[in-house]
A = this chain, B = another copy of it.
Amino acid sequence: MIAVKMGQTATLKKISVQLNMSISTVSRALKNHPDISENTKRKVKELAALMEYEPNSYAVNLRTNKSKVLGLIVPAISNMFNESFISAVENEARKSGYSLMILQSGDDPLQESENLKLCKHYRVDGIFISLAAESYSSELFTKYIESNIPIVFFDRVPEAGNFDTVCMADEEAATMAAHAIITYKKKKVLALFGNPVLSITKKRKDAFLKILKKEKTVAVEVEYCINGADATQHVTKAINKTNPPDHIFCMSDEILIGAMKVLKNAPLKIPEDISVLAISNGFIPGLFNPEISYVETSGFELGKLAIKRMLENMEAKTPIKAIMLPSRFVQGNSL
C-alpha cells in the first residue's frame, strides 16, 4: 500500500508524514496521552505496528537521561556464588524493565575502577558491585553516589564508609559453623579462610574464632588461602603431620574445592577420621562423597534482595542500609 518501508527503520517522523500529523501527536498517541482522540490513536497505532515502529532508545535515553540499564561488577563471573547472584538479578531486573551490563574486574583494583568509569560512560541507572580484593576505589564510590548514581554493594562489601550493602550474615554463618564443630566434639580444627584483606574474611574469621576460643577443648589452626591451590597445599601439609586435625573448616566453595582435591583420595576417611564443614552456595558440597555439610549462603536469594534494594534506592533516596541474608545449616554426611 503506502510506502511502508520507506527508509529502513520506522521513526515518529516517518509515521507522522504518512499520516499527515505532527510528530508530537504521534508520540502522544503511542503513549496513550489523554489529549489524543481514540480515533487518531487507533490510526497511529495501526501504522506503527505495520511499520514495526520501535522507539529509538538512544534518543529516549538522551531525552530522559535514563538508560534502563544496570551495571554489575564482579571479580569474576565464573564463580558459583556470583553466577547465581547474577542470574537472580538478571531475572528480577527484567521484570522491572531493566537490563544488565556485566563487567569483570578480575580481582584487579585497576580494572575495577575502569569498570566503574565504563558504567559512568554508559550512564547506567545503578551499579551492583562485589569488590576486588584490595579495592581502592572508595573515593570513586562516594563520588558516584553523590552524583546520584546509586550503588549497591554485595557479598564483598567495603569495610568502612556508609554504603548500601547486601550480604550474607557472615558472623551468623561462621557462628553456626563454630557451634556445629563444638557440638560434634571436634578437638583439632584446621580452619581455612580466604583473602585476609577482604572484610568478608575478617568477619567470618572473627566470629568463628570468637566462639571457638571460648571452648578450651578445641584447638584451632587458622590458614589463609588466596585461592583453591593454597587450600590444597595447606590441607596436604596438615594431614601428613603426625598429629593431623580431626576437622577441616572451609569458608568458601573455592576453598572447599581446593581442600577436597586432597581429601577425596586421602587415606583418612570422612567423617570418621576427619570431618569437613563449609560455608557454601550449595551446589558444590553435593558433588562430593560423602556430601559435605555446609552453612548455606544463597547467591540467588541475595540477588533478589539486591535488586529490590536497588529499585527502592532509585525511586527515592532512602537512608543507607546494610541488609543481611540469614543463613541455614544444611546437613550432609561429612560432619
Chain A residues packing against B (C-beta within 8 Å): 8-9, 54, 56-59, 61-62, 65, 67, 69, 76-78, 83-84, 86-87, 90-91, 94, 99-104, 106, 118, 120-123, 147, 257, 260-261, 264-265, 284, 286-290
Q: Which residues of B contact A123 (CB under 8 A)?
A: 56-58
Q: Contact: B290 with A288, CB < 8 Å?
A: no
Cβ contact of A77, chosen from B65, B90, B106, cutoff 8 A = B90
Q: Which residues of B contact A76 (CB under 8 A)?
A: 87
A69 to B87, CA, bound (A): 20
Contact of A99 with B120 at beta-carbon distance under 8 Å, contacts A62-B62, A67-B58 already known: no
Q: Contact: B284 with A264, CB < 8 Å?
A: no
Q: Contact: B288 with A287, CB < 8 Å?
A: yes
Q: A100-B102, A264-B288, A264-B289 are in contact. List 7 more A-B contacts (CB 8 A).
A: A56-B62, A59-B62, A77-B87, A78-B83, A265-B289, A265-B290, A288-B289
Q: Contact: B122 with A99, CB < 8 Å?
A: yes
Stoichiometry (number of copies): 2
Q: Contact: B84 with A78, CB < 8 Å?
A: yes
A83 to B283, CA, bound (A): 15
Q: Contact: B122 with A104, CB < 8 Å?
A: no
A57 to B86, CA, bound (A): 25
Q: Which residues of B contact A284 (CB under 8 A)?
A: 287
Q: Which residues of B contact A58 (CB under 8 A)?
A: 58, 61-62, 65, 67, 123
A90's nearest neighbour on chain B, judged by CB, is B104
In the complex, 30 of the A-B residue pairs with CB atoms within 8 angstroms, ordered by the A residue number, are A9-B147, A54-B120, A56-B62, A57-B121, A57-B122, A57-B123, A58-B61, A58-B65, A58-B67, A62-B62, A77-B83, A77-B90, A78-B84, A78-B87, A90-B103, A91-B106, A99-B103, A99-B122, A100-B101, A100-B102, A100-B103, A101-B101, A101-B102, A102-B102, A260-B287, A261-B286, A264-B289, A265-B289, A287-B287, A288-B289
A87 to B77, CA, bound (A): 6
Q: Which residues of B contact A290 (CB under 8 A)?
A: 265
Q: Which residues of B contact A100 (CB under 8 A)?
A: 101-103
Q: Which residues of B contact A91 (CB under 8 A)?
A: 104, 106
A103 to B99, CA, bound (A): 8
A290 to B288, CA, bound (A): 11
Q: Which residues of B contact A257 (CB under 8 A)?
A: 287
Q: Which residues of B contact A57 (CB under 8 A)?
A: 121-123
A61 to B100, CA, bound (A): 18
A58 to B289, CA, bound (A): 53
Cβ contact of A87, chosen from B56, B104, B120, cutoff 8 A = B104
Q: Which residues of B contact A69 (CB under 8 A)?
A: 101, 122
A9's nearest neighbour on chain B, judged by CB, is B147
Within the complex, what minimum Cβ distance (angstroms) separates A252 from chain B? 15
